[in-house]
Amino acid sequence: MKVQNKVIVVTGGGSGIGRELVLHLLSKGAAIAAVDINKAALQETVDLAGDKMGTLSIHVVDITDKERVEALPEQVIARHGAVDGIINNAGIIQPFVRVQNLDFAAIEKVMSVNFYGMLYMTKAFLPHLLQRPEAHIINISSMGGFLPVPGQTIYGAAKAAVKLFTEGLHSELTNTGIRVTVVFPGAIGTNIAANSGVVIDLGSDQAGAQSTMKTMAPAKAAQRIVAGMEKNQYRVLVGSDAAFMDFIYRLSPERAANFIFKQMQSLLPE
C-alpha cells in the first residue's frame, strides 16, 4: 500500500523506531495518528514534525487498556476522516534475568504490552480497515521472536506470539483488501531498555563490547519498514544481524541458539 494520502496509526510514536516511523511517513505524504503512553514524548515528536504537524494527531493511550484502545478508532476517524493502516510498534523488553528469577508482575507487563496491546489495537481497528479500498497492518516482532535470547525468554515468547498471530492474520485476510506484514528488527539504536524500566549492568569488558556493537539507526529502520509496507512484503528483516541470524536459524536452530547464548551469557547474573 502506497502511504501517500493515507491515514496511518503508529503506536510507540513518542520515541525510537515509532517516532522515526511517524516522521518518515509524514515526509511521504501520509497523515498520522501517533499513539504513546508518554505525553511529553509525543509532544517532542510533534515539535520534530515541523511544517508537517498539521497532518499529525497525538493520542495519549495505554495500549494495555482495552477500553481506551476500543475508543481510539472513533477518535482517529473524527480527526482524520478515515483510517487506512496501523503499525503496532510499541513494545518493551524484560529485565535480563532467567525465568526463575523473573517475577510475575514483570512477566504480565511484558506480555500485556507486546502481545495484548497489539491484539487490542488490531481488533479495534480491523472493522474500519475492512471498509477501506485497501489497507495495511504491520506488526513489529523481533529477531528474538524467532531466535531464543537468554535473559529475554518472556519477551521472546511475546514476540513469537506476535509473529504467528500476524502470519495467521495474513492468511485470514488473504481475500480482502488488507495486506499484513510482520517485521523482525535486529539491534536498533533506541532507548528501549530505559523506556522499559530495565537497567543493564555491564562490567567494563561488556561495556566496551556494547559500545562497539553495530546497531541500525532508528531512522533507517523506519525507512526499511515503510518500504516493506509499500511493497506489501510478507515479512521484513531489519538489520544485517536479523538477516544473518534468520539464515543461520533456518539452517540449524540449535547452532543459532548456542551462538546467541555465547554472545549474551555475560549479561545474565549467576
Could you report the per-residue pLDDT of 212-225, keeping only the tens digit for each?
A: 457 899 999 999 99
Q: Mark whether 155 is an active-site residue.
A: yes
Q: Give the residue from 120, 138, 122 showing the smallest Cα distance to 130.
A: 122
**Selected catalytic residue, list 116, 120, 155, 249:** 155
Residue 212 has what pLDDT? 41
* Helix boundaries (H) for 50-152: 66-80, 104-111, 117-129
Q: Give the residue from 129, 145, 116 showing the smallest Cα distance to 177.
A: 129
Domains and CATH numbers, the chain: 7-267 (3.40.50.720)
Per DSSP, 28 falls in state: T
d(CA 8, CA 22) in angstroms, rounded, equals 9
Where are any strands of DSSP class E within 171-247?
Answer: 178-185, 235-238
d(CA 86, CA 108) in angstroms, rounded, equals 24
Q: Which amino acid is at 166?
A: T
Per DSSP, 175 falls in state: T
CA angle 139, 226, 60 (to 5 degrees): 60
Q: Confidence class of residue 265 from pLDDT cuts 50, 70 and 90?
A: confident
Could you report the per-residue pLDDT of 55-101, keeping only the tens digit for each?
A: 999 999 999 999 999 999 999 999 999 999 999 999 999 999 999 99
- With a CB cutoff of 8 Å and minimum separation 6, the contacts of 43 are 58
Residue 208 has what pLDDT? 39
Q: Is the pLDDT of residue 175 over 90?
A: yes
